[in-house]
Chain A
Amino acid sequence: MKIINVGASVTASNDKDAALLREEMRARGQLMINLMSSPGSGKTTLLSRLIRDLSEVKIAVMEADIESAVDAERIEALGAKAIQVHTDGMCHMDAGMTRAAVEALDDDAAQLIFLENVGNLICPAEYDTGAGLNMMILSVPEGDDKPLKYPLMFEQSDALVISKTDALPYFAFDLEKCAERARKLNPQIRVFPVSAKTGEGMEDLEAWLLERLAAY
Chain B
Amino acid sequence: MHEMGIVLHLAKTLDETAEENKLTKIGRVTLQVGEVSGIMTDLFTDAFDYFKKKHPMLTECKLELETIPGVTWCDNCHKTYETVKYGKTCPHCGSGETWLLQGNECIIKEIEAE
Q: List residues of chain A with CB under 8 Å of any chain B CB.
A: 1-14, 16, 89-92, 94, 122-123, 127, 148-149, 151-152, 184-185
Is B31 touching A10 in the complex (CB atoms < 8 A)? Answer: yes
- What is the bound-complex CA distance between A64 and B24, given in angstroms? 36
- Chain B residue, CB-CB nearest to A96: B12
- Chain A residue, CB-CB nearest to B17: A6
Is B113 touching A7 in the complex (CB atoms < 8 A)? Answer: no
- What is the bound-complex CA distance between A118 and B17, given in angstroms? 29
Q: List residues of chain B with CB under 8 Å of any chain A CB.
A: 1-2, 5-6, 9-10, 12-13, 15-17, 21, 23, 27, 31, 38, 75, 88, 96, 99-100, 104-114
Which of the residues A1, A3, A11, A152 comes within 8 Å of B9, measured between beta carbons?
A11
Which of the residues A2, A13, A123 comes within 8 Å of B12, measured between beta carbons?
A13
- Chain A residue, CB-CB nearest to B12: A13
Q: How far is the CB of B108 from chain A (nearest CB, A)?
A: 4
Is A3 touching B110 in the complex (CB atoms < 8 A)? Answer: yes
Is B108 touching A9 in the complex (CB atoms < 8 A)? Answer: yes
Which of the residues B6, B108, B113 comes within 8 Å of A2, measured between beta carbons?
B113
- What is the bound-complex CA distance between A184 and B1, given in angstroms? 32
On whether A11 and B13 interact (CB within 8 A), knowing A91-B5, A151-B99, A185-B99, the answer reads yes
Q: How far is the CB of A7 from chain B (nearest CB, A)?
A: 7
- Chain A residue, CB-CB nearest to B25: A1
Is A92 touching B5 in the complex (CB atoms < 8 A)? Answer: yes
- What is the bound-complex CA distance between A105 and B5, given in angstroms? 24
Chain A interface, >50% SS class: mixed
The 6 closest A-B pairs by CB, nearest first: A13-B13, A6-B108, A13-B12, A10-B10, A12-B13, A10-B106
Contact residues in A for B112 (Cβ distance below 8 Å) = 1-4
Is A3 touching B105 in the complex (CB atoms < 8 A)? Answer: no
Contact residues in A for B96 (Cβ distance below 8 Å) = 148
On whether A5 and B110 interact (CB within 8 A), knowing A10-B13, A11-B9, A148-B96, the answer reads yes
Is B100 touching A151 in the complex (CB atoms < 8 A)? Answer: yes
Which of the residues A8, A16, A91 comes within 8 Å of B2, measured between beta carbons?
A91
Is A90 touching B16 in the complex (CB atoms < 8 A)? Answer: no
Contact residues in B for A7 (Cβ distance below 8 Å) = 107-110
Contact residues in A for B107 (Cβ distance below 8 Å) = 7-10
Contact residues in B for A16 (Cβ distance below 8 Å) = 16
- What is the bound-complex CA distance between A7 and B21, given in angstroms? 14
Contact residues in A for B17 (Cβ distance below 8 Å) = 4, 6, 8
Beyond contacts A2-B113, A8-B17, A9-B108: 19 other A-B pairs, Cβ-Cβ < 8 A, are A1-B114, A3-B110, A4-B21, A4-B23, A4-B111, A6-B17, A6-B108, A6-B109, A6-B111, A7-B109, A9-B106, A10-B31, A10-B106, A13-B13, A16-B16, A91-B2, A94-B9, A151-B99, A151-B100
11 A-B pairs whose Cβ atoms sit less than 8 Å apart in the complex: A2-B113, A4-B21, A7-B107, A7-B109, A10-B107, A10-B108, A13-B9, A13-B13, A14-B9, A148-B96, A185-B99
